[in-house]
Structure 1
Amino acid sequence: MAENKRIAEELIEAVGGSDNIESVTHCATRMRFIIRDEDKVDKEQVEEIDKVKGAFFNSGQYQVIFGTGTVNRIYEEIEKMNLKTASKSEQTKEAAKKGSKFQRAIRTFGDVFVPIIPVLVATGLFMGLRGLVMQEQVLAIFGLTVDDISSNFLLYTEILTDTAFIFLPALIAWSTFRVFGGTPIIGIVLGLMLVSPELPNAWGVASGADPLVFFGFIPVVGYQGAVLPAFIAGIIGAKLERAIRKRVPETLDLILTPFLTLLFMSIAALFIIGPIFHSVESYILDITLFVLELPFGLAGILLGFFNQIIVITGVHHIFNLLEIQLLESLRSNPYNAIVTSAVAAQGGAALAVGLKTKHKKLKALAMPSSFSAFLGITEPAIFGVNLRYGKPFLMGLIGGGVGGFLASILNLAGSGMAITVIPGTLLYLDGQLFLYILVNLTAIAVAFALTWMFGYSDKITEKEHVS
C-alpha cells in the first residue's frame, strides 16, 4: 500500500536515517528501534507522521506506537528497505545492554515472568467461569442446585483451576533457566522436584500436616505455588550448569552436566534455597496484604493513582510476583481490581480529549487510543495523548485513584491477572460483575469530567499546528 510505504519512509528519515538504526522489530502495537545516536532522532517529526500514536525511549529502545494491525503493515514496508531486522528476543538482548543496572534487573525479571502470564490468565478465566457456573441463580436457570452437580465435574473444574499453581515452580524454573542461559528442560525437572508428590503438600502442611525434617532441624515441604524458591534456584542452577559445561569434556557433557546440575541443585533447592526463600516469600505476602488492607481505601488510592506512573518507568513487571502470590494464597487478586481503574481512567482522559478537540489529527489519534485503553493497553493513550499534553495524564491518575478507592472499600478481587477493563470482566463473573463495572465506569467518568473541564483545551495544540 502506497500510504504505508510513505509512512515507513518518513519514519526512517525521522529517526535519523538507515545509518542511525542498529536494528528494527515490532511487537503487537509498537515499532521498536535500536538507535545508534538518540540526538539524531527528530521526536516531533516522528509524532507528526500519519498513524503514529506516540513515541518514546524505553528499555534501550525507541518505541513508536502504531496500534495492532497497523504496525504489521508498516513493518512489512520497512523490511523492503534492507534495514537490519531482528526478532523481538534478539533485540531484547541487545537492548538489555543499555540502561541502568536497576532497569536491566527489572527487565530480566519481566523476561522471566511475562511468558508465564498467559497460562495464569487462562487459569483466572477458568476460575471466573467456575464461579459463574456455580452461582445458585445460574444453576436455577437449568433447574439445578449445587447438590446436583456431579463430583466428577467439580474435580474436572479443579484440574482447570489448580494445575498451573500446583506446578508453578516448574514453569518458573523453566523460564528462569531459559533467560539465564541454562537448558530449559533441566529447569523444568528441577522445578518438578520442588513439587514432587513424595514431599508433604505445601497446602497440607499449612493446614496442620507435618513437614519432613532432615538433619534434625531442616523442615522440607513441597513448594506448590511457590515463586521465589523456584526463581532463585533457577538463577543459580542456570549459572551452575554453564560453569559445569565449561569444565566437562565434550564427550561426557550429555551425561555429566545434567546429572551434576540436578544433583547439586536438588540439594540446594530443597534444603537451603527452599526453606529460606519460602520464608522470605511469606513476609512479602504479609507486607502486600498489609498494604492492600489499609483502612479507608488508602491502598486503592495509592495504587490506583501511581500505577500508570510505574508503567511509564517500565518496572511494573515486578508486580507480577505479587499478583502470582496473591492468586496462589487467596485464589483472588485485589490488586487487579485496583489496577483496572488506573487503566480505564487513562482511557477516559483520552476519550475526553478526542471528543473535545476540533483538530482532526488529534481526534483520530485520541479516539482509538481511548478504546485501546478500554481493552487494557494504555501506551497509545498515555504516550500519544495524555502524557503529551500533561494535564490529561494527571486527570487520569486522579480517576485511577478514585476508582481504586472504590475497588478497595468494596473488597473487589479478580480471579486472575494481566487483563483489565473490558477483557477483565471475565475475571469477575463470580457475582462481582456489577461492582467491577461500577468501579471502571467511576474511574472513566472522573477522568473524563476532570479532563473535559480542566485538563485540555485546543489552545494547547495551536503551536503544534495539528489539523
Structure 2
Amino acid sequence: MADNSTIAKQVIEAAGGADNVASVAHCATRLRIMLHDKEKADISAIEELDKVKGAFYNSGQLQVIFGTGTVNKMYEEVMKLDIEGKSKSEMKEETKQQGNVFQRWIRTFGDVFVPIIPALVATGLFMGLRGLVTQPEILALIGLTPDDISENFLLFTQVLTDTAFIFLPALVAWSTFKVFGGSPILGIVLGLMLVSPALPNAWAAAGGEVEPIMFLGFIPVIGYQGSVLPAFIAGIVGAKLEKGLRKRVPEALDLILTPFLVLLIMITLGLFVIGPIFHIVENGIFSATLFVLDLPFGLSGLIIGGLHQVIVITGVHHIFNLLEIQLLERMGENAFNPLITAAIAAQGGAALAVGLKTKAKKMKALALPSALSAFLGITEPAIFGVNLRYVKPFVMGLIGGAAGGFAAAIMNITASGMAITVIPGMLLYLDPIFSLVLYFLANAIAIGVAFGLTWAFGYDDKMLEKK
C-alpha cells in the first residue's frame, strides 16, 4: 500500500493537477477540493487509489472520502504540495453560489441548524433516560414505585429536558446571525425576546389556557417557545439589517446606535409581522408532516424509508431537521427517526453483503468498514464508496430501507430525540423499554432485506471489471 504522501500526490494529479486546484479543505471524513475546471478531474482514477473510500462531485467541490483520522493526515500531505488550504468557513463562502437557488438555501439552512443539533441530541437522550428511570417496571426492580420519586428529582430532570426547546428561538437566532454575518450576541438577545415571560406562553396559548395579546385588533402576539421559522427568518433579516446599519452609522455612534436599532426594529417585526406570518407557515409544514406520518398501512415507512437516502445524495436532507424539531417540540416524540434509521441501516446491510461476498481485497477493505460506519449512523462511505458505485447494492439498500421503514411505521415506533441513528440511536428508544425491542426488529428487517437482496442479486466481482 502506498504511503500518505504518494496518495496525496496521486489525488491531486487525478484532480487535474495542482494548477486545476483552487483550494482544499477537509471535514470529519472527506477531503474537499475546489477545482477551476471539474471536467479535468478523473473521479474513477481517484476511487482506485489506496485508502480512498469513494469520490464524487457535489456542492461545487470534489469530495474524496478517506474516513475519520486518515483525512487529517491526507490534508497535511496535500498542504506540503504548495496547495492552498482554506478553512471550512472559507470554503463555504466559495460554494455559496454553487447549485440552484433551492440547493443554496437548503445548504444555508443546514449551516444554521447543524451547530444546534448537539444540544437537541443531548435533550433527546435526557428524555429517554428520564423515561427509563421513571418506568414502573424499572423501579420495581429496586423495590420502588413512581410515587417514591421525589418532586425535586422530577424538577431536575425537567430542567434537563425542557430548557433547549423553551429557548430554541435563541439558539436559532444566534446561529442564523452567525451564518449571515451578524453579531451572534444580538441574535441571542433577539431570540430571548421572542420567548420573554412577559408574553403569553406559546404552549399555554395552544392549549387554550391563555389568550394571545391582540394588537390593532387583528395581530395576535404570543411567545414563540419551541418555534423555529420565526426566529430563523428574524435572524436573516436582523443580520442583514445590522450589516447595512454598520455601513451607514458613524463609527463614533456604532457601538450604541446599531445594536439599539437592530433590536428595536427586529423585535417589532418579529412580534407583529414575521412571527404571526411564519408561525402559520410552520403550522402548515407540521400539518403536512403529520399527514405523511399518519398515512395508513405503513405507507409512511415505505415512502420515507425507501427514499431518504436518495434525498441524502442530493444534499437537501437538512430540511428534515425542522420536521424532527417540530415533532419533538409539539408531540414530545419523533416518529420520523425510526423511518430514516431503517434507511441508513439498510445501506449498511448492502455494503456488508458486498464486503463479505467479494474476493477482491481492496473492495473487502473498503466495504466492511463502510458498513460499520453506516451502522454508527454515517452512510457516506457506504453510499459513495460502495453501493452507489455499482448501483444495484444501493437499490437493494433502498428496498431494505422501505421494508424496515414499513415495519417501524406498522409498529408505531417513536424516538425521544433526533440526529442519532442505528446503534447510537438505541438510546432514544428506552421509554418504554419494549420500544427498544421493536427498534431492533425494524432495523434487523432493513439490514436483512438489503443484505439478502444484495447477496443474491445486487453484487458480484464481475462488476469490478465492468465499472
The TM-score normalised by the length of structure 2 is 0.98
**Partner amino acid for 2:184?**
P
Deviation at 1:103?
Answer: 1.4
Q: Aligned to 1:316, what secondary structure does the other structure show?
A: coil
Deviation at 1:78?
Answer: 1.6
Alignment partner of 1:186 is 2:186: yes
Q: Aligned to 1:23, what secondary structure does the other structure show?
A: strand
Q: Aligned to 2:34, what secondary structure does the other structure show?
A: strand
* Identity of matched residues, %: 70
Provide the rounded CA distance (Å) in 2 between the counterparts of 1:298 and 1:453: 26
The equivalent of 1:157 in structure 2 is 157
Provide the rounded CA distance (Å) in 2 between the counterparts of 1:61 and 1:426: 35
| Aligned ranges 1:261-300 → 2 under 5 Å | 261-300=262-301
The equivalent of 1:367 in structure 2 is 368
Provide the rounded CA distance (Å) in 2 between the counterparts of 1:122 and 1:292: 24
Q: Aligned to 1:22, what secondary structure does the other structure show?
A: strand
**Partner amino acid for 2:161?**
T
Q: CA RMSD in A?
A: 1.2
The equivalent of 2:332 in structure 1 is 331
- Contact residue 123 and residue 160 of structure 2 kept, 8 A: yes
1:440 alignment partner, one of 430, 440, 443: 443
What stretches of structure 2 of length at least 5 have no aligned partner? Answer: none
132-141 or 439-448: which moved more? 132-141
The equivalent of 1:14 in structure 2 is 14
The structure-2 alpha-carbon separation of the partners of 1:89 and 1:203, relative to structure 1 and needing over 3 Å to count, comes to same
77-86 or 164-173: which moved more? 77-86
Provide the rounded CA distance (Å) in 2 between the counterparts of 1:143 and 1:52: 55
The equivalent of 1:456 in structure 2 is 459
The equivalent of 2:251 in structure 1 is 250
Provide the rounded CA distance (Å) in 2 between the counterparts of 1:90 and 1:243: 22
Provide the rounded CA distance (Å) in 2 between the counterparts of 1:106 and 1:300: 24
Deviation at 1:109?
Answer: 1.0
Provide the rounded CA distance (Å) in 2 between the counterparts of 1:140 and 1:160: 24
1:262-314 Cα offsets, whole Å, 9 max, x none, are 11111110111111111211111111101100000101100000000000000
Q: Aligned to 1:296, what secondary structure does the other structure show?
A: coil
**Partner amino acid for 1:203?**
W
Deviation at 1:408?
Answer: 0.6
**Partner amino acid for 1:387?**
L
- Contact residue 128 and residue 416 of structure 2 kept, 8 A: yes
- Contact residue 2 and residue 50 of structure 2 kept, 8 A: no
**Partner amino acid for 1:353?**
V
The equivalent of 2:23 in structure 1 is 23
Number of residue pairs aligned between Structure 1 and Structure 2: 464
Deviation at 1:2?
Answer: 7.2
- Contact residue 350 and residue 397 of structure 2 kept, 8 A: yes
**Partner amino acid for 1:294?**
L
Deviation at 1:398?
Answer: 0.3
Alignment partner of 1:383 is 2:421: no
1:309-358 Cα offsets, whole Å, 9 max, x none, are 00000000111111111111011111111000000000000000111111
Provide the rounded CA distance (Å) in 1 between the counterparts of 2:436 and 2:366: 30
Provide the rounded CA distance (Å) in 1 between the counterparts of 2:101 and 2:203: 37
Q: Aligned to 1:99, what secondary structure does the other structure show?
A: coil
The equivalent of 1:406 in structure 2 is 407
Deviation at 1:125?
Answer: 0.8
The equivalent of 2:122 in structure 1 is 122
The equivalent of 2:110 in structure 1 is 110
Provide the rounded CA distance (Å) in 2 between the counterparts of 1:16 and 1:117: 37
Provide the rounded CA distance (Å) in 1 between the counterparts of 2:97 and 2:53: 27
Deviation at 1:141?
Answer: 2.1
256-265 or 95-104: which moved more? 95-104
What stretches of structure 1 of length at least 5 have no aligned partner? Answer: none
Q: Aligned to 2:298, what secondary structure does the other structure show?
A: helix
The equivalent of 1:3 in structure 2 is 3
Provide the rounded CA distance (Å) in 2 between the counterparts of 1:146 and 1:79: 60
Q: Aligned to 2:147, what secondary structure does the other structure show?
A: helix
**Partner amino acid for 2:90?**
E
The equivalent of 1:206 in structure 2 is 206
The equivalent of 1:171 in structure 2 is 171
The equivalent of 1:73 in structure 2 is 73
Q: Aligned to 2:24, what secondary structure does the other structure show?
A: strand
Provide the rounded CA distance (Å) in 2 between the counterparts of 1:315 and 1:101: 12
Provide the rounded CA distance (Å) in 1 between the counterparts of 2:204 and 2:309: 39
Provide the rounded CA distance (Å) in 1 between the counterparts of 2:103 and 2:269: 29
Provide the rounded CA distance (Å) in 1 between the counterparts of 2:354 and 2:327: 36
Provide the rounded CA distance (Å) in 2 between the counterparts of 1:230 and 1:34: 33
The TM-score normalised by the length of structure 1 is 0.98
Provide the rounded CA distance (Å) in 1 between the counterparts of 2:62 and 2:123: 34
Runs in 1 of length 4+ with deviation above 6 angstroms?
Answer: none
Provide the rounded CA distance (Å) in 2 between the counterparts of 1:80 and 1:459: 38
Provide the rounded CA distance (Å) in 1 between the counterparts of 2:415 and 2:65: 29
Q: Aligned to 2:108, what secondary structure does the other structure show?
A: helix
- Contact residue 289 and residue 323 of structure 2 kept, 8 A: yes
**Partner amino acid for 1:448?**
F
Provide the rounded CA distance (Å) in 1 between the counterparts of 2:347 and 2:79: 33
Provide the rounded CA distance (Å) in 2 between the counterparts of 1:143 and 1:50: 58
Provide the rounded CA distance (Å) in 2 between the counterparts of 1:72 and 1:132: 39
